[in-house]
């Protein structure tokens, strides 16, 4: 069994998203994020898009 398959149900507890990570991503948004769309390509558990939900018109 693959490592991530074994820990998948605990992933968010082991690697919680924090405000520093969200702030880091926001610092790279050119001129803010209003009127912008985010595409989540499903490479994680969705924590980052959830953390940035209020900053985007569409995710």
Interval 11-54: pLDDT, tens: 889 989 999 999 998 888 776 656 788 888 887 788 888 888 88
Model confidence, pTM? 0.63
> Is residue 49 in a domain?
yes
**What single-letter DSSP state applies at residue 15?**
S
User: In 3-state terms, what secondary structure has residue 19?
Assistant: helix
Residue 28 has a pLDDT of 83
> Is residue 9 in a domain?
no
> Is residue 1 in a domain?
no
Residue 20 has a pLDDT of 94
> Is residue 21 in a domain?
yes
Domain tally, the chain: 1
> Is residue 2 in a domain?
no
Residue 25 has a pLDDT of 87
Domain that holds residue 28: 17-59
> Is residue 58 in a domain?
yes
Q: What are all long-range contacts of 18-22, with beta carbons under 8 Å and residues at least 24 apart? A: 21/48, 21/51, 22/48, 22/51, 22/52
Over residues 5-11, the mean pLDDT reads: 88
> Is residue 50 in a domain?
yes
> Is residue 5 in a domain?
no
């Amino acid at each position: 069994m693959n490592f991530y398959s074994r820990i998948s149900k605990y992933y968010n507890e082991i690697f919680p998203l924090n405000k520093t990570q969200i702030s880091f991503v926001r610092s790279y948004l050119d001129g803010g994020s209003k009127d912008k769309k985010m595409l989540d390509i499903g490479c994680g558990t969705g924590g980052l898009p959830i953390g940035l939900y209020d900053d985007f018109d569409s995710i």
